[in-house]
Amino acid sequence: MFFQLLINGLIAGAIYALVASGFSLIYSTCKFVHFAHGATIAFSAYFLYFFFVTLGLSFWPAVILAIICACILGWLMNKIVYKKLRKRKASNVILLIASFALLILLESLILMLFGADVKTIGYIKIAKGLEFLGAIITPLQIVIIAVSIVLLISLYFFMKKTKIGKAMRAVADNKDVAEIVGISSEKIYAYSFIVGSAIAGIAGILVSLEQNLEPTMGTNLMIKGFTGAIIGGIGSVPGAVLGSFLLGLVENFGIWFLPSGYKDAIAFVILFIFLLFRHQGILGIKRNNK
């Protein structure tokens, strides 16, 4: 039982970490909560369905096209909506409301284009799970954990070693100082949306291989990713990853004592505890607003 819950927690945490890392990357540079990130996740899953099932393309070209489309969607949201609002000196509250509106609009667009019925990708057939220390894990779930870990390590080195990653960190730390040394904040915002949306696209594809597709599938994942980011420290990509794995583990170990229907409630209880007693999260820095 213990190892089964541990594995389930790691699987959930790996998905939440992908969502939270892209979300946190955009938040750290742009300084507003981009809730429409959930729509990018849902759209990437439906893009895969469209290319692979509807058009009949091979799987891997369909995956690559779905990730590219997710990047373009994120870039367009920044270009068409957020950039124009920033030019008009819109406050973060306005940007937050705009992100909610975008989330609902894009989910409605998925509903209009693909219908309300549940869809499946059906690429990976249901396989017998492997037994490990008395717990059962499927080959797909092993792939989900492995891909997530590789991607998160790659993101870490991207942020630490590349020129764009360093520029993102500079803008996240102090936009005005970064612009003085020649870094265009608008370019960095665009890069953040592209990279963050690519990660969201991969998360959406991994989820679509294991679960059914629904127009609102991104909203629940976005809430979990947001909660993971709050736990770890919103604005800190490593913190968001740590918080997401902790959330996945606590959710799954929680149902050891409670019915499984309380899983979402457990996530919200943790969210409220951190908002009330440690709003900066585990790795976040407490700021004095005196």
pLDDT by 10s per residue, the chain, length 290: 788 888 888 888 888 888 888 888 898 888 888 989 999 999 999 999 999 999 999 999 999 999 999 999 999 999 999 999 999 988 888 999 999 999 999 999 999 999 888 888 877 776 667 787 777 888 888 888 888 888 888 888 888 889 998 999 899 888 888 888 888 999 999 999 999 999 999 999 998 988 889 898 888 888 888 888 888 887 778 888 888 899 989 888 887 888 777 878 888 888 888 888 887 778 766 655 44
d(CA 203, CA 144): 9
Of the candidates 5, 6, 19, 3, which has an alpha carbon nearest to the alpha carbon of residue 206? Answer: 19
Handedness of CA 41, 43, 45, 47 (dihedral sign): negative
Question: Position 209: which residue type?
Answer: L
How many angstroms separate the first and last alpha carbons of the chain? Answer: 49
d(CA 77, CA 121): 26
Q: What is the pLDDT of residue 70?
A: 95
Tell me the C-alpha to C-alpha distance, in Å, between residue 280 and each of 13, 175, 273: 20, 20, 12
d(CA 24, CA 241): 9
Note the Cα 251 to chain centre separation in Å.
18
d(CA 244, CA 18): 9
In this structure, how many other beta carbons lie within 10 angstroms of the beta carbon of residue 3? 13
Of the candidates 197, 262, 275, 263, which has an alpha carbon nearest to the alpha carbon of residue 224? Answer: 263
Which of left, alpha, beta for 214 (phi over 0: left; psi -120 to 50: alpha)? Answer: beta
Handedness of CA 171, 176, 180, 182 (dihedral sign): positive
Q: For 136, list phi and psi in degrees, rounded to 5.
A: -110, 130
Q: What is the pLDDT of residue 287?
A: 57
Q: What is the pLDDT of residue 285?
A: 62
Of the candidates 13, 32, 49, 22, which has an alpha carbon nearest to the alpha carbon of residue 191? Answer: 22
Torsion of CA 135, 136, 140, 146, to 10 degrees: 10
In three-state secondary structure terms, 136 is: strand
Tell me the C-alpha to C-alpha distance, in Å, between residue 161 and each of 53, 153, 183, 215, 284: 38, 12, 17, 37, 22
